[in-house]
Structure 1
Amino acid sequence: MQAKEDESSYDSFELVDLAGRELQTIPIFLHRHAHNIISLNLSRNSMSDIPLDFVQAATTLRELRMTYMALKRVPASIRHSSALTRLDISCNRIQDLEHAGLNEISTLVSLKAINNRLTTLPLYFAEMKSLKYLNISNNKFTTLPDHICEMRGLLDLDVSFNEISTLPSELCQLVSLERLVAAGNALTTFPNSFSALASLRELDVRRNQLTDLKAVYALPNLAILQAEYNNLVSLDAQLGPKVREFGVPFNSLTRFTLAARGALDVSYSLTVLDLSYAKLSTLDEDALRPLVNLDTLKLDYNKFTRLPETLELLPNLRTLSCVDNVLASLPSGLAKLAKLEVINVHNNNLKEIPTGIWHCKSLRVLNASSNLLAAFPDMPVRMQDAPAMFDKPEDTDLSPGSETPSAQSLPLCSSLRKLLLCDNQLSDDIFDTIAVMGELRCLNLSFNDIFEIPTWSLSKNPNLEELYLSGNNLTSLPSEDLERLTKLRVIHLNCNKLQTLPAELGKIRKLLILDVGSNVLKYNIANWPYDWNW
Structure 2
Amino acid sequence: MNGIRRIKRYARMKMKGIVQGSKTLLILLMLTKSIHGSALGYVLRPMPEPELEARTCPVKCVCQLEAFNELPIARWVNHMARKHVDDSLLLTTHTKLATCLIQSQNEWQELRDYLPMDLQALILLYTGNVENQLAVNTSSLRRLNQLRTLEIRGIGATLIIDDPLEFLQHANFEQIRLQASDRLQRPKFSKLPSDDYEYKPPSELLPHGEYSTKYPLQFEDAASDIVTYEQHIQRLKQTRMPSFFGWGRLEVLRILSCKLDKLHWQMFDGLTQLRDLNLERNSIEELPPFAFSGALNLKSLSLAHNALSRLHYLGLAGLLQLETLNLADNQLGRLSELSFPPLPKLQTADLRSNPVKYILPGTFWVMNDTRELQMGSDQAALDLRTWFIYGQFDSLNELRTLILGNVSTETLEQGVFKGLYRLEVLKLRGQIHSIQFDVFAGMEQLRELDISQCGVSELSMDAFMGVKRLKFLNLSHNNLTNMPHGLLDDQQRLEEVQLQGNQLKTLPTSFSRLPLVRVIRLDQNPWQCSCQMRYWKPYFTNVVRGPSVKRCVKDINGDPLSCRYEAPYETDKSVVPRCSNYNGRSVYYVLRKQLHCGDIKILQPLSPIRIGTRGLPLPHWRKVELQDQNQQSKKARPRKIAHRPTKQRNTLQFVLRQQNHQPHSDPLVLEMSNEI
Smaller-chain TM-score bracket: 0.5 to 0.7
Say if 1:306 and 1:330, in contact at 8 Å, map to a contact too.
Answer: no
SS class of match (1:325): strand
Q: Residues 108-507 of structure 1: matches in 2 within 5 Å? A: 108-114=119-125, 116-117=127-128, 119-121=134-136, 123-141=139-157, 143-147=158-162, 149-164=163-178, 168-196=241-269, 197-214=271-288, 215-218=290-293, 219-238=295-314, 239=316, 240-257=319-336, 259=338, 268-301=344-377, 302-307=380-385, 309=391, 311-328=393-410, 329=412, 332=415, 334=417, 336-353=419-436, 355-379=438-462, 411-413=466-468, 415-430=469-484, 432-455=486-509, 457-476=510-529, 480-483=534-537, 485=539, 489-490=543-544
Say if 2:166 and 2:246, in contact at 8 Å, map to a contact too.
Answer: yes
Deviation at 1:93, TM superposition (A): 5.9
Say if 1:321 and 1:344, in contact at 8 Å, map to a contact too.
Answer: yes
For 2:104 and 2:516, locate their aligned partners in 1 and report how far apart those are by CA, in whole Å. 59
Deviation at 1:104, TM superposition (A): 5.7
Cα displacement string for residues 176-196 of structure 1 (whole angstroms, at most 9, x for unaligned residues): 212111112212112442141
CA-atom RMSD, angstroms? 4.3
Say if 1:233 and 1:255, in contact at 8 Å, map to a contact too.
Answer: no
Deviation at 1:481, TM superposition (A): 3.1
Deviation at 1:373, TM superposition (A): 3.3
Deviation at 1:266, TM superposition (A): 5.1
Q: 2:99 aligns with which of 89, 96, 109?
A: 89
Deviation at 1:49, TM superposition (A): 8.4
For 1:325 and 1:105, locate their aligned partners in 2 and report how far apart those are by CA, in whole Å. 57
Say if 1:431 and 1:458, in contact at 8 Å, map to a contact too.
Answer: no
Question: Letter of the aligned partner of 1:254 in structure 2?
Answer: G
Structure 1 counterpart of 2:607: none
Which runs of 5 or more structure 1 residues have no equivalent in the other structure? 15-32, 41-46, 56-60, 68-82, 381-406, 492-508, 529-534
For 2:436 and 2:51, locate their aligned partners in 1 and report how far apart those are by CA, in whole Å. 59
Cα displacement string for residues 253-307 of structure 1 (whole angstroms, at most 9, x for unaligned residues): 124345599xxx7552212222221222212312111110111111211432135
Question: Letter of the aligned partner of 1:515 in structure 2?
Answer: V
Which runs of 5 or more structure 2 residues have no equivalent in the other structure? 1-9, 27-44, 53-57, 72-92, 180-238, 546-568, 594-676
1:511 equivalenced with 2:571 (yes/no): yes
Q: 1:100 aligns with which of 92, 96, 111?
A: 111
For 1:167 and 1:466, locate their aligned partners in 2 and report how far apart those are by CA, in whole Å. 62
Say if 1:289 and 1:310, in contact at 8 Å, map to a contact too.
Answer: no
TM-score, normalized by length of structure 2?
0.54
SS class of match (1:193): coil
SS class of match (2:142): helix
For 1:525 and 1:467, locate their aligned partners in 2 and report how far apart those are by CA, in whole Å. 19
Deviation at 1:34, TM superposition (A): 11
1:11 equivalenced with 2:23 (yes/no): yes
Asked which structure has the greater CA Rg, the reply is 2
For 2:151 and 2:523, locate their aligned partners in 1 and report how far apart those are by CA, in whole Å. 50
Change in CA separation of 1:12 and 1:377 when aligned onto 2, cut-off 3 Å: farther
Say if 1:369 and 1:424, in contact at 8 Å, map to a contact too.
Answer: yes
Say if 2:477 and 2:499, in contact at 8 Å, map to a contact too.
Answer: yes
Change in CA separation of 1:521 and 1:112 when aligned onto 2, cut-off 3 Å: same
SS class of match (2:452): coil
Say if 2:414 and 2:436, in contact at 8 Å, map to a contact too.
Answer: no
Structure 2 counterpart of 1:498: none
For 2:61 and 2:169, locate their aligned partners in 1 and report how far apart those are by CA, in whole Å. 30
Q: Residues 56-67 of structure 1: matches in 2 within 5 Å? A: 62-63=65-66
Deviation at 1:144, TM superposition (A): 2.3
Change in CA separation of 1:326 and 1:90 when aligned onto 2, cut-off 3 Å: farther
Say if 1:260 and 1:266, in contact at 8 Å, map to a contact too.
Answer: no
For 1:373 and 1:174, locate their aligned partners in 2 and report how far apart those are by CA, in whole Å. 55
Deviation at 1:363, TM superposition (A): 0.8
For 1:100 and 1:35, locate their aligned partners in 2 and report how far apart those are by CA, in whole Å. 32
For 2:251 and 2:502, locate their aligned partners in 1 and report how far apart those are by CA, in whole Å. 52
Question: Letter of the aligned partner of 1:433 in structure 2?
Answer: L
TM-score, normalized by length of structure 1?
0.67
Question: Letter of the aligned partner of 1:453 in structure 2?
Answer: L
Deviation at 1:465, TM superposition (A): 3.3
Say if 2:324 and 2:346, in contact at 8 Å, map to a contact too.
Answer: yes
- Greater helix percent: which structure? 2
Structure 2 counterpart of 1:79: none
For 1:260 and 1:527, locate their aligned partners in 2 and report how far apart those are by CA, in whole Å. 62
Structure 1 counterpart of 2:598: none
Worse-matched range after superposition: 158-167 or 340-349: 158-167
Deviation at 1:317, TM superposition (A): 0.5
Aligned length: 426
Structure 2 counterpart of 1:76: none
For 1:86 and 1:252, locate their aligned partners in 2 and report how far apart those are by CA, in whole Å. 42
For 1:98 and 1:207, locate their aligned partners in 2 and report how far apart those are by CA, in whole Å. 30
Change in CA separation of 1:84 and 1:368 when aligned onto 2, cut-off 3 Å: closer
SS class of match (1:428): coil
For 1:371 and 1:94, locate their aligned partners in 2 and report how far apart those are by CA, in whole Å. 55
Change in CA separation of 1:180 and 1:284 when aligned onto 2, cut-off 3 Å: same
Say if 1:365 and 1:418, in contact at 8 Å, map to a contact too.
Answer: yes
For 2:452 and 2:284, locate their aligned partners in 1 and report how far apart those are by CA, in whole Å. 36
For 1:489 and 1:319, locate their aligned partners in 2 and report how far apart those are by CA, in whole Å. 27
Question: Letter of the aligned partner of 1:297 in structure 2?
Answer: L
Deviation at 1:377, TM superposition (A): 3.5
SS class of match (1:200): coil
Question: Letter of the aligned partner of 2:111 in structure 1?
Answer: A
Change in CA separation of 1:465 and 1:112 when aligned onto 2, cut-off 3 Å: farther
For 1:289 and 1:216, locate their aligned partners in 2 and report how far apart those are by CA, in whole Å. 22
Question: Letter of the aligned partner of 2:438 in structure 1?
Answer: T
Deviation at 1:310, TM superposition (A): 5.1
SS class of match (1:273): strand
Cα displacement string for residues 413-451 of structure 1 (whole angstroms, at most 9, x for unaligned residues): 3x1122111233433334631354232232222233311
Deviation at 1:463, TM superposition (A): 3.2
SS class of match (2:135): coil
Counting aligned pairs with the same residue, the percent is 16
For 1:49 and 1:426, locate their aligned partners in 2 and report how far apart those are by CA, in whole Å. 65
Say if 1:374 and 1:424, in contact at 8 Å, map to a contact too.
Answer: yes
- Greater strand percent: which structure? 2
For 1:138 and 1:13, locate their aligned partners in 2 and report how far apart those are by CA, in whole Å. 46
